[in-house]
């Protein structure tokens, strides 16, 4: 079978006791529709700050639970620049399972992401506690070189990664819904 790289993706944040009973249903849906269902570990980016480690369903557990019903195999030996480990169905069914283990198998070391929020703030990590005010600079007539300077200075301060697995974890200054993707 020839594999297509433009497969449509559906992201599913898995939360224990909320939607983890649907893992196999989602995998079945991937097979029926030829989709990539990407299961994402739940991270402490919720607006209510109610995240508890017990809410997390690890990528390993997700893999085991799907594999038990629909055997899957690792499709590529490296994540490359992507965040998901990709799995395909042993029986050759269409579709793909992606597992994004953002907490238990973080990929921060390979991260080059910088985000611009809808209100014009540069964020250098999902878990940033500081932002860089690009909108303010633009509205105040910032020159091209000032804009480049702001972006360069933000990039230079990019975090090494999240600290969820340490005892000095600090919540991000915005929740995921306020950051946007
Ligand atoms: S460095 Fe920040 S934005 Fe990049 S992968 Fe890690 S947590 Fe996500």
| pLDDT by 10s per residue, the chain, length 181 | 445 567 899 999 999 999 999 999 999 999 999 999 999 999 999 999 999 999 999 999 999 999 999 999 999 988 877 899 999 999 999 999 999 999 999 999 889 999 999 999 999 999 999 999 999 999 999 999 999 999 999 999 999 999 999 999 999 999 999 997 6
How many angstroms separate the alpha carbon of residue 181 from the centre of ligand 1?
12
* pLDDT computed for residue 82 by the predictor: 83
**How confident is the model over 130-164, as pLDDT tens digits?**
999 999 999 999 999 999 999 999 999 999 999 99
Whether ligand 1 lies within 6 angstroms of the CB of 15 is answered as: no
Distance 114 CA to ligand 1 centre (A): 9
How far does residue 72's CA lie from ligand 1's centre (Å)?
A: 27
Give residue for tokens 């999240």.
162
Q: CB of 127 closer than 6 A to ligand 1? A: yes
Q: Is the CB of 125 under 6 A from ligand 1?
A: yes
**Phi, psi for residue 32 in degrees, rounded to 5:** -65, -40
- Listed as own residue / partner, the contacts of 117-120 with beta carbons closer than 8 Å and 24 or more positions apart are 117/174, 117/178, 117/179, 117/180, 118/180
> Can you give the residue ranges of every domain in the chain?
9-105, 111-179
* CA 138/CA 134 separation, integer angstroms: 6
Atom of ligand 1 nearest to the CA of 115: 3
Q: Is the CB of 113 within 6 Å of ligand 1?
A: yes
């Amino acid at each position: 079978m020839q594999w297509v790289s433009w497969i449509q993706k559906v992201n599913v944040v898995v939360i224990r006791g909320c939607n983890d009973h649907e893992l196999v249903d989602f995998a079945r849906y991937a097979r029926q529709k030829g989709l990539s269902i990407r299961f994402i570990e739940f991270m402490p980016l919720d607006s209510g700050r109610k995240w508890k480690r017990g809410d997390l369903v690890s990528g390993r557990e997700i893999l085991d639970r799907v594999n038990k019903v629909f055997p899957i195999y690792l499709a590529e030996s490296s994540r490359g620049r992507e965040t998901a480990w990709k799995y395909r169905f042993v029986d050759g069914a269409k579709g793909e399972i992606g597992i994004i283990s953002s907490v238990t198998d973080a990929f921060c070391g390979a991260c080059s992401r910088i985000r611009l929020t809808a209100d014009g703030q540069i964020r250098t990590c999902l878990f940033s506690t500081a932002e860089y005010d690009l909108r303010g600079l633009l509205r105040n007539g910032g020159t091209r070189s000032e804009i480049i300077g702001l972006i360069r200075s933000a990039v230079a301060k990019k975090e090494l990664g999240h600290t969820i697995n340490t005892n000095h974890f600090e919540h991000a200054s915005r929740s995921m819904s306020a950051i946007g993707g």
